Amino acid sequence: MGTRTFIDKGYQAITPRSAKSGDMSLLITIIALVAFGLLMLYSASADYSVEILGEVPSYMFKRQLLWLLFGIVIAFAFSLLDYHHWRRVAVLAMLGTIIALVAVLFIQELRLGAVRTFYNGSIQPSELAKVVIIIYLSVWLYAKRAQLHSIELGLIPLAIILGLIGGLIYLQPDISATATIFILGGVLFFLAGADLKQIIILILLASLVAWAIVQVSATGQERVEYYRLGLQDPTHASYHVRRALEAIVNGGVFGLGIGQSVTKLTGLPVPPTDSIFAVIAEEFGLVGATVLILLYAIMVWRGLVIARRAPDMLGSLLATGLVFWIAIEALINMTVMVGLLPFAGNALPFISAGGSSLVTSLAAIGILFNISRQRGENSQLDDEWRAFGATANLRRRNGRRGLSRTRRS
């Protein structure tokens, strides 16, 4: 898994003959999400900034604007950077992420019962880890695509990578981010062409790890118990979920109007971050929540189109991994607020307050946009998948021949 794994000396950047402008539908969708996010953050954070943080009402909004400007610069730079260059820096990016995850454990900036952040909660290394793990695994799986059917060269190294990053995040502790890392790793491993046996083993291992975490973690046990009780009777769910459901019910079909949320003023936990979807549902109703979900659906659709049109398998893995990550974050946040999943602290991408979440999400969009700019008629994607499939079929045939010879002898 060293640097030589990722750098192919014979590599040359693909220069497609067409499509230099990028996916404008994706760009318009992200602009809509960011603009809506700023509007909702201003509504959800004013009272929180004064009552909880002891600052002026616009404090969190202004901080988010600064992070947005930084994120736009990063997204623009990444949209111009040929995504193949990530092959050269994937190892360094992973090492930097590991250092940041270790450093946050020693700095001990305690917020909401965990040590996850720097700079007064704005920089969260676990958010960076999610993007970096996608880049690293995409590059690694692309380089090892012909060897993934070997457990020693495929599943075991993958488990070590996910175990290291997931373990460091769990120590903060951040159970939801740990689960996200394992989900992303499994999705990319599946898309890269791992066989069914390894996928089953990975699912069993992940289930065993999840069970063990719940058994040794008082927080995990509490969340699972409240989830079970909430499914039986919503009035027995956790306080956070009950207040979120109250906000959603208050909103009805069309909502109370922008800035008119009641629960954000009467005890809804962290309305600018984890609970912002509940504020959206209360102020814009079922209609507003549905529009938001449709925007995320359009983003996923465009991301999968970009993945299908990518010039090669590396671009396809990157695009799919990045868009699935954003979709998973959004799905977990919204389903937790309505009690359909055990409580988790995932941010709502482009909407929730927080510099790390916003910047990393915009960085992912920048990479996606670069991949979309490189689609063209001379795509190598189909040829690479075809060659990979031929290699896998040859191995299966050779395995059956070896077995037949053994039986005959």
Sequential DSSP letters for 261-297 = -SGGGTT-S-TTTTTHHHHHHHHHHHHHHHHHHHHHH
CA–CA gap between residue 135 and residue 90 (Å, rounded): 7
Mean pLDDT of the chain: 84
CB distance 347 to 357 below 8 Å: yes
Instruction: For residue 406, name the pLDDT band (cuts at 50, 70, 90).
Output: very low
Q: Which H/E stretch holds residue 338?
A: none
CB distance 183 to 165 below 8 Å: no
Instruction: For residue 9, name the pLDDT band (cuts at 50, 70, 90).
Output: very low
CA–CA gap between residue 262 and residue 247 (Å, rounded): 8
Q: Please state the rounded mean pLDDT for residues 148-174.
A: 85
- Per-residue pLDDT reduced to its tens digit, 273-325: 999 999 999 999 999 999 999 999 999 999 999 999 999 999 999 999 999 99
* Amino acid identity at 119: Y
Q: Please state the rounded mean pLDDT for residues 233-255.
A: 93
Q: Which residues of 138-155 are buried (b: 16+ CB within 10 A; e: fewer)?
A: bbbbbbbbeebbebeebb
Termini Cα distance of the chain? 39
Q: Measured between alpha carbons, how far is residue 256 from residues 42, 84, 196, 209, 351 in Å?
A: 16, 48, 49, 43, 19
Helix axis angle, 125-143 to 155-170, nearest 10°? 180
**So what's the pLDDT on residue 119?**
64
* Amino acid identity at 261: S
- Over 60: is that where the pLDDT of 67 sits? yes
CB distance 128 to 179 below 8 Å: no
What percent of the chain lies above the pLDDT cut of 90? 51
175: number of Cβ within 10 Å: 22
- Per-residue pLDDT reduced to its tens digit, 343-366: 887 899 999 998 889 999 999 999
